[in-house]
Structure 1
């Protein structure tokens, strides 16, 4: 690891871009001798290919290069990496006011006069390093909760919403975990607020230990924490929550000794097709959390498990009336307000016709017209909000979490299926798998309420 010999801090990587090999190698040698990690590119095209997905925080580029100039490289970095802290120095023999203004407008932070002198070069690199470090400190102060080191509420909400949109666009699983510290007020009342703060720090540090990959973690306020777990199905999220809960309990003696164990209660909710924003996801996780508290705290409750419990309770109240439902079949429950598109059809070509129709959802079919997925109105709107490429095929937008029923399936059979998997969208298909219509969950529940008086 490259470190500053004076401060002992890790030094940032520097990308050196110059089509003249001698100049490029000389600057790289000076940087390496000063403890910097160095990447090299011989022109703007190669530099942008490297920087687009993993841009070093400091870029030194020549102005005049074939194919892609230093100014064009500046513009690309500023346009595509606008949220990242990148300090750009342009090396040039130009010194007119117009040239310098043009470079600044393109996004350059500083200049190096050619021929380049070692002392001036390293001094400007040090200035760049100081500026980057200061920006990182300011960003951390604005985004991080000072007590726990986790994301603050505003930043957590912003990043989690972005993560939700990305997960849905790629049809990847995700889950939300909400957590409270049980009876937190007692720590403040019995041991003082200093101990209460230490409990919060302990919880924050353990959460950070466990969040190493695709997890986002934030403190929403007080003793309330929230995590967004990308690539976690609900069972894996529950397992994560249980491990977190046990770690916190086992290490609470580090703060308050053996007098009182720190216990936590957690609620977990999966990201499913009907839940396209963080507000709805948090509401579901919070309902699971409240249910866990009502059962005695110190446990984890999943939203799907809570739904199944509620459906089982509901099922008991209509059990004696199920015979009345057997005469009602899927074709009587379905609505035909659907649009049908091929999975290769693009977002662009289907969008206008879908929004102009009265359809609630679009069924996506393969070349044999068999149902393979669904795209809801919210899926379309989310794709628009996230600036999805208009040529994206519908197969990359669709949700595959669907229950399929034949027209002859009875209402009680549908009810039993949805009881086991309450979040599925329901589509009626013919014997060849061709979609005929949708079954709206609220229509089925309305029928059950009318018959079972629930």
Structure 2
């Protein structure tokens, strides 16, 4: 559990960090609101403990921006303040804070609120995983992939970095189901995902796009490097044995590739789809780069 701590008092930062570490959590420490936002957007967090009165950005201003950004909107936000009036509590909760601690801090209360926040974060993460994941293969689903791809595209445009996409289709998958039954087809899909994940890089994003079609987002990768990655994946799929009900068989995949440019994600998906069908027309079990 990663806990973002933001306070302009060095004593408070040290005390909060010590408490967080004693609980087995990882502290991420900022000395003002602007640095807190920078660390949150760059490194992510699970729980944030934010002082209300800070230089550059107040705790409430930090909370507003964290709630507005899709990457940080699900964090559990605890506001710390010396204010003791009820109207401030109402303002904090209405402004997006999930919890509120008054100064002077009581360590036992802080620990209790962090534990409560951790339970909420864990439950929220489980729900998000269920909503984002294909239940058969464990790959993320199409809706989640498109959301993350659009965020990645915005980041790539902001930092002028390359971004590419692969569309993969298991060749003649209907014959797999016809020959080995749907149970055999399910095993093939699961093994396919496992092989892809092993062959891809840690930051690459694999998705079950629909049926036997999959998509991969390749951050900081131009289309020509993507060809090498795609062919590595294709070879791994081709040479992998799939075991089901005492029988061993193999599958192959066709792959279409496109860079994602200023014309957006939908246009890149369309190009990758055209390249995928070109790979199929050319005999399948091959990689094609969009022209």
What is the TM-score normalised by the length of structure 2?
0.85
Post-superposition offset of 1:221: 0.9
Does the CA contact (< 8 Å) of 1:175 and 1:268 recur in 2? yes
Question: What are the residue-to-residue correspondences of 1:228-239 with 2, within 5 Å?
Answer: 228-239=217-228
Matched, 1:252 2:266: no
Q: For 1:147-174, what per-residue CA distance to the aligned partner results, in whole angstroms no more than 9, with x for missing partners?
A: 2222212222333344445545655444
Post-superposition offset of 1:299: 1.9
What is the root-mean-square deviation in Å for CA atoms of aligned residues? 2.8
- Secondary structure of the corresponding residue to residue 232 of structure 1: coil
| Distance 1:115-1:263 versus aligned 2 partners, 3 A rule | same
Alignment partner of 1:112 out of 92, 97, 101: 101
Report the Cα distance in structure 1 between the residues aligned to 2:66 and 2:154, rounded to whole angstroms.
24
Question: What are the residue-to-residue correspondences of 1:135-214 with 2, within 5 Å?
Answer: 135-164=124-153, 166-167=155-156, 172-212=161-201
- Secondary structure of the corresponding residue to residue 139 of structure 2: coil
Alignment partner of 1:286 out of 268, 273, 278: 273
Report the Cα distance in structure 2 between the residues aligned to 1:43 and 1:217, rounded to whole angstroms.
37
Does the CA contact (< 8 Å) of 1:52 and 1:81 recur in 2? no
Report the Cα distance in structure 1 between the residues aligned to 2:243 and 2:131, rounded to whole angstroms.
29
Post-superposition offset of 1:181: 1.0
Give the match for residue 286 of structure 2. Answer: 299
Matched, 1:34 2:34: no
Alignment partner of 1:78 out of 67, 89, 93: 67
Report the Cα distance in structure 1 between the residues aligned to 2:127 and 2:61, rounded to whole angstroms.
28
What is the TM-score normalised by the length of structure 1?
0.57
Question: What are the residue-to-residue correspondences of 1:263-282 with 2, within 5 Å?
Answer: 263-271=252-260, 276-282=263-269
Query: Unaligned 5+ residue runs, structure 2?
Result: none
Post-superposition offset of 1:244: 0.4
Q: Greater RCO between the two (CA within 8 Å, min separation 6)?
A: 2
Post-superposition offset of 1:78: 3.0
Query: Unaligned 5+ residue runs, structure 1?
Result: 1-11, 305-454
Post-superposition offset of 1:232: 3.0
| Distance 1:246-1:257 versus aligned 2 partners, 3 A rule | farther
